[in-house]
Structure formats: structure tokens, C-alpha cells
Amino acid sequence: MPKLSIDKREVEVPPGATILDAARKLGIDVPTLCFLKGYDPSTSCLVCMVKIVGSDRLVPACGNRLVPACGTAAVDGMEVESETEEVHAVRRSALELLLSDHLGDCLAPCYFACAAHMDIPLMLRQIMAGDMPGAIATVKSAIAIPAVLGRICPAPCEKACRRRAADGAVAICRLKQFVADVDLVAEQPYDPPCLPASGKSVAIVGAGPTGLAAAYRLAQQGHGCAIFDENDLPGGRIRHETTEEQLPRKVLDAEIQTVLRLGVQLHGNTRIGEETSLENLRGRFDAVLVAAGTSTPERAERLQLATGPRGIEVDRHTFQTATDGVFAAGGAIRGKVLVIRSVGDGKDAAVSIDRQLSGQPLVGSQRPLNVRIGHLQQSELKQFLATAGDAPRRDPAAGPEARFSTQEAAEQAARCLHCDCRKLHTCKLRKWAELYKADPLKYKAPRRTFQQDTRHTEVIFEPGKCIDCGLCIQIAAAGGEKFGLTFVGRGFDVRVGVPLNRSLDEALEKVAARCVEACPTAALSLR
């Protein structure tokens, strides 16, 4: 039996085993895209490269001795390097080359336009399916006060909605309001799961949107939270700068209670810097967040914090001030901004505070890896519209109490074009690209025209995401499909397609679900 070493760790494998088999036996996670156990390796993606010590060659780990030109069998005495910077750099380059030709959005444009980065498409699909518990959980994983924001937010997410260019943006804000309103009157309103008490405590100066959002997130992490506000009632500018018609106070008060019932303490009529000093809070709490709205020079002076042109000076990634253990966010650092921006700041500042309280390094909020299609041509937009509901944009009747009916909400949610990836959380290309910190923009290539084959009853095929791994071709052949799939074209133009100009429905009559499961990049996905 061959005995070899990988990263100076010895392993013995059966005859005919590959380097990939040996690595997996050692628990070394060599990345693969085009490999699937039980099928012939194609070694086409080149992300599984390893280095043979004593050789200048880098070889793919997933091949076997039956394909000596492009595969590598484990050989007795072989020394292999896998987890080195040199090998990682080669894998990263392979991933970046694949990403340069990848045509699809990982995350929808509305996700990035929302300052709180809510998973809007998921919420819309849950509304469409009648899954209100799932929808409110999705909303409140990003936004602490959605019933409020559904009424007063100027909806930057809708300005980014791709359907806006066709027949009007999806009514995202009013649908968010619909979900939150349903929850507020439910017998058991949604409470997020909270971790056990951490023994750590945070003082939050300001009970406006930033402070409420931060407290909501920190309480879920098990930290004790106390909010101090100079007013007798919480809400900050969302209470003082809106009318009853714009925002009914019973809605505002009910939503604030969803934050307080997580164990958050509220101390009104307390002006920090006068009745209580910031230094006093630092002595009593493990961290302090200043979220007291627009910061004037006088207020900053009372708090003894350094200020810049727009407010208190902070590290823009971590929200940390120059004073140890003190953070600031929202209007306190930006001046007057959209309420959704304040809520997003509170959420992000809470992440940094939690990391500090947990003894982790402060790295700030990490932007998720994302590939973008960019601007759609009219012909491309039509393909997205073909899979979405055809109802026109409608809003509820005017007035603060107006809301969609359940049927209307489902109809409006169905207008979503599903711009985000249908396999976002299982896409292997994205998984490895994130792990190896691949840059989707490293290699710029001319963008192909977006295509979407929706003729199959179960499956959607997006050729622009296909990396020509050939797994679906092998699976269809092994499954006894009459027509199956094949490679069409030559050279750089080769693509997976159906032979003899047959339809995808005819190509995948038996193993469609298996092909979708095996597809590493969401080129094939279930409807």
C-alpha cells in the first residue's frame, strides 16, 4: 500500500488512491469543484492544485492513474505540499479566473442598497409561501424595528430593485411593514433566540434607532444592556421628528417593547455628561456605545470625546473611539442620516462590541463575497421577468394603518425577480472563493449575455454560471437519460448543452434533482 506524506504528515492509502483521497484521510480539506466521488475526475477547475516536493510541477489532486495527463495517483514515498502560501496562491488564481467568467449575482442589488443588509429576496419568498414566522425571523435578523421603518424609510432598496426599470420596483418597504405588523398583533410575537448571559454589560447612550438596534443585537449575544436617554420616552428622532399620521405612536411603542422585553433596561431623563459622566459609565459597564443622535461640539465636549467634521471620531470599520471601551455610531458620527443607516450602524457597532467583550480582535463588518452581473440589457431583463409574477406594482391604500391583505402581500412578493443566487449557501465556487480570499474583479473579462433556460418543469439552467465541470453530463449518462447533456462547441466557446437541439425537459427526465445537487456553481438550480 502506498505511503506518502502531505505537509509532512504521513498517510497510507490503498493502491489506486489519489492524492485527494490521502488528503481527506488526513483531514486536509483540499478544495474541489469538478470532482464528485464515484464519477471520473475531469481535473478541469484546477482549484485542487498541490505541489509535489522535488518537482517544479503543480498537479491536480483529484485525478487517478487512469488519466495520467491531468491526474495524479498517490505514489509510495511521494511528498506533497497542500497548505502553503504558494499552493494557496495558485488555487486563488484558479478561482479568480473562474469568477472572471461567472455571470450571476450572489446577492441581489437590493441587499447592498439596504444599509442594514437584510436578505430581502428571502423575505419575499417566505411571504409568497405564506411563511410569516420565517419572514419575520429574516427581517428581524437584520432590522430591530421593521414596523417603524416600513412606514418611514425612503426605501433605498427599492431604488436598486431591478424590476423598477420594467414596471415598478417590488414594494419592499410596505411588505416589510406587512410582516412586522402581522407579528406585532400575533398571540406570540417573535422573540429572537438569545445566548446565555455572558456576564458582560454595555451602556448605550441614546434610545433612538441606533441605540435600539444595538441593544437588540447585544441582548441576543447574552450581554446585559442599559440604555440611557435624556428624554422621558424612548425613540429619539423617530418619535420627535415624525407625526402620528406618519408613524402611529402605538406602533412605535409596541416595537420598542420588542427590544426591551429581551431584558434591556431603559433609563430616561438621564443626560450623560451632566447627571452621569461617561467616565462613570466606563467604570460600571464593560463597554459603552454613544448613539445619542447628531453630536454637537458641546455634547462631545461633555463626553470628552474627540470630534471630526461630522461628529465623534471613530474607526469607520469598527466604530471604536480613541477612548478605550467606548464606541460611537449613527448620527453621533455621521450627522443626520437615514434612519435605516442609523439602524445598520447600531447593528454593526454591536458586532464590534460583542467581539471585544468576547476577547476577539476587532475587524469590523466584513463585506460578503459577491459577483455582480451589472446593468441588464432589455432582453436580459425580460428573461428575469419570465420567472416572476406578472402583477403590477400596488401599494396599500393611503394612511398609517393601511396594509396589504395576505393575498395582496403574496401577489406583490411574487413580483421579485430572484436576482440573488438560488444556491447562495451551497455554491462551492463562492465557498472556496471566500476561504481563499479570491478577488472577483482580479481578471476582467467581457461580460457574456445573460441567459436563463426555464423550460424545465423543475430546473432552471443559467449557462453563464457553468464552469464546464461535466458532472451533470456524467450523471445524466449514468442515470440512463435518453438524450442527456453534452459539451457543445470548441475551445473557449465550449458549453454544456442538450444534444440534437432537444429541450432541457427531454435531457433531464430522471436525474434532474441529482444534477442540481452536484452542480458546484448554481448553473443548475431548482425553481
CA 46/CA 428 separation, integer angstroms: 14
Task: Single out the residue in 297, 327, 357 at which a domain terminates.
Answer: 357
Is residue 481 one of the residues assigned to a domain? yes
Is residue 182 one of the residues assigned to a domain? no
Give the pLDDT of residue 399: 64
Which residue carries 431623563 as its cell? Answer: 269
The residue type found at 11 is V
Is residue 135 one of the residues assigned to a domain? no
Is residue 442 one of the residues assigned to a domain? no
Q: Which helix (H) or strand (E) holds 201?
A: strand 201-205
Give the pLDDT of residue 66: 26
CA 488/CA 313 separation, integer angstroms: 58
Overall domain count for the chain: 3
Is residue 415 one of the residues assigned to a domain? no
Give the whole-number percent of the chain exceeding pLDDT 70. Answer: 96
Report the pLDDT averaged over residues 136-150: 96
CATH number for the domain harbouring residue 516: 3.30.70.20
The residue type found at 191 is D
Report the pLDDT averaged over residues 88-115: 95
Give the whole-number percent of the chain exceeding pLDDT 90. Answer: 78
Report the pLDDT averaged over residues 42-67: 71
CATH number for the domain harbouring residue 240: 3.50.50.60
Is residue 106 one of the residues assigned to a domain? no
Chain Cα centroid distance, residue 311: 30
What Å distances lie between residue 208 and 132, 205, 292, CA to CA? 27, 9, 7
The residue type found at 13 is V
* Three-state secondary structure readout of 227-286: EECCCCCCCCHHHHCCCCCCCCHHHHHHHHHHHHCCCCEEECCCCECCCECHHHHHHHCC
- Phi, psi of 136, rounded to the nearest 5 degrees: -70, -35
User: Do residues 456 and 353 both lie within one domain?
Assistant: no
Per residue in 344-403, pLDDT (tens digit) is 999 999 999 999 999 999 987 778 999 999 999 999 999 999 999 999 999 887 766 778
Give the pLDDT of residue 492: 78
Give the pLDDT of residue 476: 96
User: Do residues 331 and 212 both lie within one domain?
Assistant: yes
- For residue 274, the enclosing domain spans 201-357
Per residue in 248-292, pLDDT (tens digit) is 999 999 999 999 999 999 999 998 877 788 999 999 999 999 999
Q: Please list, residue by residue across 195-214, b when 16 or more beta carbons sit within 10 angstroms of its beta carbon and e when fewer do.
A: eeeeebbbbbbbbbbbbbbb
Going 361 to 314 to 268 to 243, the CA torsion angle's sign is negative
Is residue 345 one of the residues assigned to a domain? yes
Chain Cα centroid distance, residue 14: 41
Report the pLDDT averaged over residues 120-129: 97
Longest pairwise C-alpha distance within the chain: 82
- Phi, psi of 68, rounded to the nearest 5 degrees: -65, -20
User: Do residues 341 and 212 both lie within one domain?
Assistant: yes
Per residue in 56-94, pLDDT (tens digit) is 666 676 654 322 223 478 889 999 889 999 999 999 999
User: Do residues 74 and 209 both lie within one domain?
Assistant: no
CA 203/CA 469 separation, integer angstroms: 54
How confident is the prediction for the chain on average, in pLDDT? Answer: 91
CA 171/CA 150 separation, integer angstroms: 10
User: Do residues 349 and 465 both lie within one domain?
Assistant: no
How many Cα atoms occupy the beta-carbon half-sphere of 220 within 13 Å? 18
Is residue 206 one of the residues assigned to a domain? yes
User: Do residues 231 and 353 both lie within one domain?
Assistant: yes
Task: Single out the residue in 357, 384, 403 at which a domain terminates.
Answer: 357
CATH number for the domain harbouring residue 8: 3.10.20.740
- Find out whether 225 and 263 touch, Cβ atoms under 8 Å: yes
Q: Is 138 left (phi over 0), alpha (psi -120 to 50) or beta?
A: alpha
Q: Is the pLDDT of residue 306 over 60?
A: yes
Give the pLDDT of residue 57: 64
The residue type found at 67 is V
User: Do residues 213 and 339 both lie within one domain?
Assistant: yes
Task: Single out the residue in 55, 75, 100 at which a domain terminates.
Answer: 100
The whole-model pTM stands at 0.91
DSSP state of 362: P
User: Do residues 206 and 346 both lie within one domain?
Assistant: yes
